[in-house]
Structure 1
Amino acid sequence: MSTEFIIPGAAGPGSQPQDEDGQTLDYMEMPREMVTFDLPIAPEPEDTVGMEAGKAKLNELARILASYQIGAPAPVLELTGMEPKDVGLINQILGEGEVSMVGGGRLQVQEAVFAGVWRVLHFDDQGGLQRDTIEVGAWPDTVRDQVFVGASETCAQAEEPLPASVFNAPALLSEIADKVATRNPGDIAHSINLSLLPHTEEDLQYLAEKLGVGGTIVLSRGYGNCRVSSTRTNGVWWVQYYNAQDAIILNSIEIVDVPAVVCAAQEDIDDSAERLAEVMEIYE
């Protein structure tokens, strides 16, 4: 399987300068599609008659938001088994926010328009929906708990002989290994900006092979298009920003619990609490 495809953009269009003759290499197109929820369309109160369970769940969510503090365990609201009309109301009110995630084929996550509110769909091995939940937090604990399960606690190092055209990957792997070995949960991110460092296409491919390919992919549209991919090395992420032409403008590796671009902040949670409470007032 192609490294460019699994870690989108790490070795794709925009990651390398043009050749001297002005030509660029062609690569497999980056996969960008992800199923998301519809944009919010708040129904009129008279159109929600009979959806009391859905409104009660949204009011419960508003109360949770009003008291939630970042760092506390993520509260979980269970939607599994609710009537479709109630779930439909919840989907309409929550809408689609800036961040989407997939986790290992079993999780699909969509941030609501209320930052810090996450719709989490849990699937079985056959692709059937097992659970439908809402989580409140900086990012979903469900994803956090599984993202690096089975990942290596140490970073693999370069081996001799090196593949052709691999020059700077060994030094980068040494730096990553040092940071992985000394990192503690909650530490600030250590970022390696590959866009500012000399490297070859083969360097990036070698790095991807040594770090391994994780199962969690995050798309964020908050400040331009950003794609965050986990690796099979504990605490190590690829973070890539794209311009409107899908060319990479920033390609980096971050050693951190989770990159900040993925997370909601406390002020986001507080704002979401206020806005959801305002929305639900019309249904009282």
Structure 2
Amino acid sequence: MPVKESQSNELGNVPSVQVLAILKELQTMLATLVETGDENYVDIHGMPLLPGEIQSLKQILGTGEVEATIAALGPTHVTETSIPGIWWVTHRNASDEIISEFIEVTDLPEILKTQHHDLHEAPEKFQQRLNEINLGA
């Protein structure tokens, strides 16, 4: 009986049906972002994906030029993929366990933007800093 070789492409084996469905959904979301500016996301943590499928998605999407880590209740890691407008966002708790994971389709993930309440406090905070080094007015 002949052994059928698994199909492969330049990235490795052919992705699972689940991975292909997510990629198709991301393609649609990206087109919508370009056409209307509407942002969207895929909740990876809430899906029944196998570890190999998550790795397959990461490999296919690649890594772009921007990576950021936000220190909040637990670390959040944001990575631009090699596809502009598609970002991988992983939130962890204080024990470093993944508590949520998203692929966001957006110009810039919301978590990287300055929060409005922080921005309103910024002038006073900056003035205090200047006063500390005797540059305040």
> Hey, what does 2:3 align to over in structure 1?
none
Q: CA RMSD in A?
A: 2.4
What is the distance in 1 between the residues matched to 2:45 and 2:80?
19
Mapped pair 1:179 → 2:29:
yes
Out of 263, 266, 272, the residue aligned to residue 113 of structure 2 is 263
Out of 70, 91, 95, the residue aligned to residue 241 of structure 1 is 91
What is the distance in 2 between the residues matched to 1:208 and 1:183?
21
Query: What SS does structure 2 have at the residue aligned with 1:171?
Result: helix
Q: Write the letter of the residue equivalent to 2:110.
A: A
Counting only pairs closer than 5 Å after superposition, residues 135-284 of structure 1 correspond to structure 2 as: 161=7, 163=13, 166-184=16-34, 187-281=37-131, 283=134, 284=136
- Offset of 1:173 from its aligned partner? 0.2
What is the distance in 1 between the residues matched to 2:82 and 2:24?
16
CA contact (8 A) 2:29 2:39 kept: no
Q: Write the letter of the residue equivalent to 2:55.
A: Q
Q: Write the letter of the residue equivalent to 2:68.
A: V
Q: Write the letter of the residue equivalent to 2:77.
A: R
Percent identity between the aligned chains? Answer: 23
What is the distance in 1 between the residues matched to 2:15 and 2:60?
16
Counting only pairs closer than 5 Å after superposition, residues 56-95 of structure 1 correspond to structure 2 as: none
Q: Which runs of 5+ in 1 are unaligned?
A: 1-159
Q: Which runs of 5+ in 2 are unaligned?
A: 1-5
TM-score normalized with structure 1 length? 0.40
Q: Which has the higher helix share?
A: 2
- Offset of 1:245 from its aligned partner? 2.3
Query: What SS does structure 2 have at the residue aligned with 1:192?
Result: strand
Q: 1:277 to 1:186 in 2, by over 3 A?
A: farther
Comparing both chains, which one has the higher relative contact order based on Cα–Cα distances under 8 Å and sequence gaps of 6 or more? Answer: 1
CA contact (8 A) 2:42 2:103 kept: yes
What is the distance in 2 between the residues matched to 1:161 and 1:212?
21
Deviations 1:64-88 (A, max 9, x none): xxxxxxxxxxxxxxxxxxxxxxxxx
TM-score normalized with structure 2 length? 0.78
What is the distance in 1 between the residues matched to 2:62 and 2:51?
17
Q: 1:202 to 1:277 in 2, by over 3 A?
A: same
CA contact (8 A) 2:90 2:102 kept: yes
